[in-house]
Homo-oligomer: A and B are copies of this chain.
């Protein structure tokens, strides 16, 4: 190939884009900052959706759909919210184009809207406006809704999957009668996200709380899961917000409690997005291409038939289709690549680049011996397996790959997590290998900002587990209640 994947060592950033290009996950679009999600990328997203959607439903949530447009005046109703989103939104001002004899197609000035519409950057405002009409009594609570949707944030510096102007996500919006219940919901979802990241994506995550400066615009508390990429940068993989009564107050959403008193409703919101695909790529892939965890891989097994002569072709393909049927019946997602005109080596490379977890090669000798060659994408190991044991063997291999990817990612993260007690060490760790740096913090925005300005590292989270430890913030010299996770991040 004239065109090859850049190695991680050579240029990590270019490597990431090359993986997306060669594995055909996404493409740039003619609209700056918007991406085209190609079938390989979308199939991955569908598998992610399916797993998450099942978990949402098992925890009592229902899907619904709210309008893509938000009246401009709605954004203004929650003060922090408007500050957070007003500077990066797509504004619809007109409803018609017309052909001008001289200028060609232009916006029709007569179609100016009475009120501008914002393409949703997130849907709290329109949903809480609706909830204020739906919720009257404690009997109407809780409301546990989620929507799968596209959203738009006018980002200036974009990057496929990680930061795009339009992205796909799910946003949950729940309404509760008590603060306790809303906080519990926020944490339930944080657990769903962490379980999904670890069990399906094979990406270990730190659960924690964001500092005030990193909080969602309009939230009382933002909980998050944070993952570590191979280049030592952290990535926020999901957030779950306790919104208090902020949106209920902004949209006058009250309910009658069991004592017949009117109270404001308590709220949460939470979301994960196609950004997760970026995390998946950056955690597992290597210089040969994409590496996918079997639970999410659209194709788990690719079988490449090998033959030279026509009479070989028939018996090899017959066996290949029999294997396909058998593995499909065992619940394995398998394809047989029976395309003519492509060499087996070319096909091997194709599946390696696309991250298919297991590749089978089947030739005339295998058919004669009732064997087949099984190759693992994650570690390159090959073995010859007896045909009779194939389904069991592959199920075991897929599980081993799933677990192995998680273990490897966990080890990488542990290698990239350091605890430091001086600002010198902090800077030196960040500059030498990056990763998470656990350091005492005095809890003030001043120190946080100073560190960010001087090192480009931010507080990724105050961890939910293993936080409490009396100490001293080495930057300010003030007392600290525990170590927080710093990192440079995407």
Contact = CB atoms under 8 A, between A and B. Distances in A.
Interface of A: 27, 29-31, 34-39, 42-43, 45-46, 62-76, 82, 86-99, 104-105, 107, 111, 116-119, 126, 129-130, 133-134, 145, 149-150, 152, 154, 166, 168
Contacts of A154: 95-96
A36 B63 contact: no
A76 B98 CA distance: 10
15 contacts: A27-B134, A30-B74, A36-B66, A38-B64, A68-B166, A75-B97, A76-B104, A86-B98, A87-B96, A89-B96, A91-B94, A93-B94, A97-B118, A107-B116, A119-B119
A95 B90 contact: yes
Given A29-B67, A72-B105, A91-B96, 6 more contacts: A30-B74, A30-B129, A31-B67, A87-B98, A97-B118, A149-B150
A107 B95 contact: no
B89 A105 contact: no
A87 to B, nearest CB: 5
A38 B66 CA distance: 8
B63 A46 contact: yes
B63 A42 contact: yes
A118 to B, nearest CB: 8
Contacts of A96: 86-89, 91, 154
Nearest to A117: B31
Nearest to A134: B27
A299 to B, nearest CB: 12
A160 to B, nearest CB: 13
Contact of A64 (B36, B99, B105, B150): B36
Contact of A65 (B37, B111, B117, B119): B37
Contacts of A134: 27
A427 to B, nearest CB: 36
Contacts of A133: 27
A34 B90 contact: no
Contacts of A66: 29, 36
